[in-house]
Amino acid sequence: MVKQDIARKGDGTMFRFRSFSQKAMGASHKKEDLPCQDAVLNYCDDSMAVAVVADGHGSPQYFRSDIGSQIAAQAALDGICSFVRQISEDSFEEWNSDWLPQLVKNVVATWYEGIDRHEIDHPLAEDGKMEAIDERYRTRYLNDSERQYFSHAYGSTLIAVAVTDQFWFGFHIGDGKCVVLFDDGSWEQPIPWDDDCFLNATTSICDDNAVQKFRFWYGPTEKDARRPAALFINSDGVDDSYPVNENEKYMKYLYRAVVLSFAKEGFESTCQQISELAEKFATAGSCDDISIAGIIDEGISADFLKALEEQDAADKLREQAAEARKQAEAKKQLLQMNRTKAKQAAKKKDALQKKAQAAEQGLMDKETQLRERRSLIKRAISSAREERDRAQKAFTQAQMELSSADQEYENLEKLARKAAEEYTAAEELARCAEQRLLALRDTQADISSGASQAMDPPADGMDTIADMEVRTFPIGDIPAILFGPASARVYLFLHSEGGQKEDAEEFGKIAAAHGWQTLAVDIPRQSGTDGQALYPGIMISELRKVYQYLSKNWRQIAVRADGLNAWYVMMALHDKPLEQCLFVSPVLDVQSAIDYAVQSDSTQTDQIPPDEIELAAEYRIYAEQSPLCKWRVPTEILFAAGDVNVWSVGDFGEPNPCKLTIEQNCGRAFAEPEERERLRAWEQRAISATDA
Amino acid sequence: MSLAENIPIARKTMVLFFVVDTSGSMIGSKIGTLNSAVEETIPELKDLSSSNADAQIKVAVLSFSSGTEWLTPSGPIEVENFVWNDLNAGGVTDFGEACRELNKKLKKEEFMESATGSYAPAIVLLSDGGPTDEYVTGLNELKQNNWFKKAIKAAIAIGSDADKSVLQEFTGASEAVLEAKNKKELRKIIHFVSVRSSEVASRSAQTGDGAKSKQDIFVDDLSNLFNNITDDSNDEDDEGIIW
């Protein structure tokens, strides 16, 4: 609210000073729902102009500072007006330095009276705001029976200035500023500063020794004296909106603009603009409560204004230059920092580059190694491929060679077979030749000795039995007997179990009649004299020995055998060239015969040593493991009807060249005379078949 | 043009001081982590400054070892234009000299020239050892400085060898001395202290000697949040190596 009065001097000379005051509530106060704690007042009449600013403290324990500031402002205004009027009435001649301390004393006392009344009317203890303050302050307030502390709740700063015809003065406690433009164009903050006021800290009217803490300023307004052209006072919200350094400079710029505005825009408009400016400080500046008040000389000359404008322009230029300098300095500093940073970055870059180079070198080394390894691998692969190709070729070659070898082997085999055949033929021829040689030798012997023997085998002795030549001799350790005159043909006679070689006599006669000699042997077991078991392998081996002997001495060989001997013959001589075989009651199937003998206790088992079951088992295993080979020799078989072995002939039959004769009513041994006759007849007939 | 339009209002400024021990014992991972941690914090301070209607943040850096050196010799720099240059370590620990140098610049004619009204500076001291010079005089002089008195002060003890009693003398409160035992903690504490002190220092506050000082508010914050900083710092990785 603008408070102003236009006053004129009583002598008709216009009193040129007008006062004004504006305030705005700080944004921070609005935000925290606090009242505006500033108070401003101004007064002027035709003899004086007064402006007052009081700034109530913001902290919670000063919760009545908005009232305290109002009371302080009013006390100051009233005190000043009263003081000025009193001095005017007294027509003083000389300024008394005691006046201002006394004035301040009065103001402080008035303030205390005011707050005392207020507190009595509105006791602090009943104030809800007490709840929000710190405990220690609350305790002090509530225990303030001496009323020594309650004033703190109303704490405030205070600045007041006044101008009269004769003098001008100001007093100040706490922060805030008082700025004066003198009529010589100079700007000053004439009231001394109190260093106890720093940042948020300030002295206060509520301080115990507040009167002593007030600072004063006084000056004359006489014609020749340097007089003020404008006085401004403000709460700290204004100067806090500017940097602390050269704060005076900023305040000067601010109030110079205000002075020029008063001169150019007029009082009312400028007051309005100051109000807007206060709002700006309150919202965009310090955000504190803002108070601006002052006294302006409305009669300043156009020249002074011009000078002020020039000063303003010069300051602006200076300011621009300073700003440019500052910016240049800042840029220089930034440049320096960037340069240092760039150097550091360059160092880092170098280090990284070195690292990268090392890494690159490492990579290259690795690549080289890899290349070498790849090359090695390639060579190895190539070598392996070559080896594979070589192996493939070798394999193919080997296959071809194998195939060729197979072919060769086949050819060789053919040749071998052919050779074997030729060898067999040659052997046969040799045997024949030998036979012929033997025959020739016999003939020669006959001629020389007049004997009719065709052969002269080693003999133990020579005898004649029933007009037949008989010789006995051993074949190795096998006793042998040879019947009949010398011939290229011989029958091997194997007597039956329990018989002897001499049993061949009758057969020898028949054979001799047909040009065959007959050789009978006593293979040890057969002889009945040797109690040792005759295992089939031994018998077969012995038979082969005998045959070997026969084949050396006769061209044609035939066999006459009984019972199990027939089986021995087939086992031993199946691969030998035999002219004929005559089997009497032969055992052709040893396995079945043994099984039958063991199971049925048949008398037929006399063909196998009955007391040698173990041996029988041996025979059976042998027969099982050594089946009969293909039998190609022309064979005649005589069975007595009822011989169990006759049924094995079926297995023996075709394609074997076998002729079977079964005699009825005969024992298988053909032992009876009549049976023997029938046996001789059969032998006669069978041998005669060889005559052709 | 009206007065409101014609009269410019300066943006309030808060200065954040880093006072960094660059003595020989800081060589290695300590100075390395410090460099990277402060550099990583700058972008957040920039965000804070640009989004803060209350105050512009400026940064000043004083390193001390055998003597002192301002990295910002021309005065605090707007954080938006600030470039952190890596500090190198070497020499002794002239902490007393650092106090005297700081005191010299904590004046409205010097580094506080652009400070406004109630915006006291924030001062973060980082050290891993104890003074090697006579520091008491320098520190006492500094403690008489009104800007220092009103400043938010924090000290970061890097490792267990740091003389915490001296750091406590500097800050005036044991709660304002934080110990970083490893790289991870140092990184977090630098970040937290720098940003938080700047936030508190650059915030409008109620005035008056009875209001809670910004240092008190900051210390309260430290007490509340320090546990969160160090909770997960005991990892087994490289960051967890104890100094």
- Over residues A633-648, the mean pLDDT reads 82
pLDDT for A425 equals 75
Average predicted confidence (pLDDT) for chain A: 83
Mean of pLDDT over chain B: 82
Segment A156-161 shows an average pLDDT of 96
Half-sphere exposure in the Cβ direction for A32 (13 Å, CA): 20
Query: How much is the pLDDT for A9?
Result: 37
CA–CA separation, A651 and A233 (whole Å): 155
Bigger pLDDT: B198 vs B150: B150
Distance, first Cα to last Cα, chain B: 63
pLDDT digits (tens, 9 = 90+) for B56-107: 788 999 999 999 999 988 888 888 888 888 898 999 999 999 999 999 999 8
At position A12, the amino acid (one-letter code) is: G
For the cut 60, the answer to whether the pLDDT of residue A5 exceeds it is: no
Residues facing A473 on adjacent strands: A480
Tell me: pLDDT of A196 over 80: yes
Q: Confirm whether the ipTM is greater than 0.90.
A: no
Residues A519 and A558: beta-carbon distance below 8 Å: no
Q: Are A263 and A307 in contact (CB under 8 A)?
A: no
Is residue A655 reached through a cis peptide bond, with omega within 30 degrees of 0 on the bond before it?
A: yes
Note the pLDDT of residue A215.
Answer: 95
Query: Mind listing the pLDDT tens digit for each residue in A197-225?
Result: 887 778 999 998 999 999 999 888 776 77
Burial of A535 (0-12, 13-18, 19+ CB in 10 A): middle
Higher per-residue pLDDT: B217 or A186: A186
How many angstroms separate the CA atoms of A522 and A524, rounded? 6
Query: How is A558-603 classified by DSSP, letter by letter?
Result: EEEEEHHHHHHHHHHHTTS--SEEEEES----HHHHHHHHHHH--G
User: How much is the pLDDT for A452?
Assistant: 37
| Chain segment A585-617, per-residue pLDDT in tens | 888 888 777 777 767 654 444 454 455 566 677
Please state the rounded mean pLDDT for residues A408-434.
78
Q: How far is residue A468's CA from residue A206's CA, in Å, rounded to a whole number?
A: 184
Q: What is the pLDDT of residues A502-515, one digit of tens each?
A: 889 999 999 999 99
Single-letter amino acid code for the residue at A241: S
Quick check: A176 contacting B, CB < 8 Å? no
Predicted confidence band of residue A108 (pLDDT cuts 50, 70, 90) = very high
Please tell me the predicted confidence (pLDDT) of residue B210.
Answer: 46
Interface of A with B in 28-67 (CB under 8 A): 28, 32, 57-62
Global pTM value: 0.59
Whether residue A105 has pLDDT greater than 90: yes
B51–A contact, CB cutoff 8 A: no
pLDDT digits (tens, 9 = 90+) for A94-104: 778 888 999 99
* Interval A450-479 mean pLDDT: 64
Tracing tokens 């600045």 back to the chain, one arrives at A159
**Could you tell me if B144 lies within 8 Å of chain A, comparing CB atoms?**
no
Residue A445 binned pLDDT confidence (cut-offs 50, 70, 90): low
Confidence tier at A169 by pLDDT (50, 70, 90): very high
Cα B115 to Cα B95: distance, rounded to the nearest angstrom: 25
**CB distance B115–A340 less than 8 Å?**
no
CB proximity under 8 Å: A 185-244 to B? 195, 198-202, 236, 239-244
pLDDT above 80 (res B228): no
pLDDT digits (tens, 9 = 90+) for A664-674: 888 888 888 99
**CB–CB of A244 and B2 under 8 A?**
no
Strand residues in A221-350 grouped as ranges (E): 228-234, 290-297
Q: For an interface test with A, give the residue of B9, B81, B145 to mutate (most A CBs within 10 A).
A: B9
Residue B83's pLDDT is what?
87
Check pLDDT > 90 for residue A230. Answer: yes
Assess contact for B11 and A266: CB atoms under 8 A: no
Instruction: Name the helix (H) or strand (E) containing A246.
Output: none
Query: B201: helix, coil or strand?
Result: helix
Token pair 């500076």: residue: B121
Return d(Cα B58, Cα B42) in angstroms, integer: 11
pLDDT of A211 reads 93
Tracing tokens 């104030």 back to the chain, one arrives at A127
Predicted confidence (pLDDT) per residue in B115-133, tens digit: 766 578 889 999 988 899 9
